[in-house]
Structure 1
Amino acid sequence: MPAETELSTDYMGLRLPSPLVASAGPLSQSVDQMKELEESGVGAIVMFSLFEEQLRHEEARLVEAAEEHADSFAEALSFFPTPPSNELGETGNYLSLLERGANALSVPLIASLNGARSGGWTTTARRMQDAGAAAIELNVYFVPGDLSMSGAEVEERHLEILQAVKDVVSVPVAVKLSPYFSNLGRMAGGLDEAGADALVLFNRFLQPDIDIHRKGVVSGFELSRPDEGRLPRTWLAVLHGRVGASLAATSGVETSADVIKALLAGADVVMTTSALIRHGAGYAAELVDGLRRYLGRNRLSLARARGMLAVPSDAPIDEYERSGYVSALEKAKRRYGV
């Protein structure tokens, strides 16, 4: 293979055979599915998420069961509480699949924890590590519905959750962020300083709609669209070279062109689930081949292409972005003005 088409790369200290990563989603619910993703060329796999609510619910069930039998005495050796219908529980099933997947794959398998509050649930990260997770992706899905909560308090919660996980694991920890901070750059810098090994840009908040005929709220989930990739690329270009954490692009990755754009903006890896759900796990091979062909045609190494179009390190970011904004409006005026 020519040097310019070599795709192996590093992501938060992990060596990956390619910069394409299967992000958290339904395509990692069995070892066979994970093997198919690996064989199609992904460099790593992020498992579907284990949610804080699931962990808290299981913990409450255990406490309830313990209290129910608190009056039992040790001499009643013939008595055993009736086990739940699923002996492993959701956490046990997740960890079992994680262990089997880690043993079966040659690419890193990354576990995913999804939560919004600090608390004991984060200690599950240690169990994930012990089961074979190469890293932990921490998906902080937090919608601050308390109107009295300040922006500083929202930021502090993210830092507390990160610290709680970092305290119990030695594997790398990535933080998956939303773009909705008053100063995203400051939040990214704070997480970087607090020890985040990677920042994943961005989480997608589910946004309900209104059915005017039924006069009701419609909830649901839609796969991401290519135009959603613009916001992550904007911030990748800003953060590239300014934080020590690895950078991952996610959302709006549908074609190999989207993969290439994210890398040019400064991503270390590019994640997708929606494209693989639409087209099948084998579509990963098309994305990887498209990237390889682009690099070959342009005589670029992956390292040289990465961050080629990021905001220059010596440029004042606010002035640079403002200049681009004004330039875009001037172009729009010339195109659509009368």
Structure 2
Amino acid sequence: MHDYDLLVVGSANADLVVGVDQRPAAGETVLGSDLAIHPGGKGANQAAAAARLGARTTLLARVGDDAYGRMLGQAQRDAGADTTGLLEGKDAPTGVALITVDSAGDNSIVVSQGANARLTPQDVAAARPLFQAAAVVSLQLEIPLETVAAAALTAAGSGARVVLNPSPPAPLPDDVLGLCDPLVVNEHEARRLLEGRTEGGSGNDLPGTPEAWAEALLELGPRSVVVTLGAAGALVATPGTATVRVPSPAVEAVDTTGAGDAFTGALGWRLGRGDGLVDAVRYAVRVGSFAVTRAGAQESYPSAEEIEKAGGTGGTSEKGTLT
């Protein structure tokens, strides 16, 4: 029996959000809504999403000794997550994400890493008891790559399952790829990981179907792959078996910010509970689709009761997205 269903190692940011009719092109100025400030960061989002669903969750992350850092700690506690691993320091400000959300609910994001860039392999080593207590460790790439690698290796050495979303996308070391179970990507992330590795070497064009993308990704070494497909849901691939498509419920999207994190947090929790990968993805698709129906990132995440009441599986919507 593990103390934690899920340990998330990653970023914690303050999200500064402005709504616009249309996101600006290069050199263009547009008027937006009043500024809204929300707790965010891919790591903090995933931990909050899992905790709201009822997971025993903790977050290993760094924040600054400032108002944003205190806000992020309180948001984790409000979601029900343990904050033992949330490290506060004076050497850097809390990370900030600058987000614009257009009238269709799509977003563009620029991240200032701040304290996230100071999460080190030494922090991972000091937190080894958290890894030993966790069934699943979830990772993203808004912290230094050497820290991601240290966390993946520490998780594997502790017997924990590794879930990794390479966002923002960057090349991953082979030893880290080999531990991913699953590697979770959207189309953009799949394209970046396959750059230079597809036939012809350019990587500019993905193979013809999502099934082919997943097969190409499996050849890089992960133990399993999950590809999120926006309104079409997600696809699950494991070596030697047929890929499985999981459809998404039909929803009207309000704001896609953090929906992919809701998906990954829910996925990690269900795997930590002992679900098979396909069943875990089915549940995670429902959670991610629910999240896009509300504004914000962590504020949009549902409880298990809300998911149960929403019910329904299958069906797709052009406006429902998982990114």
Per the normalisation by structure 2, the TM-score is: 0.37
**Structure with the largest fraction of helix:** 1
**Structure with the largest fraction of strand:** 2
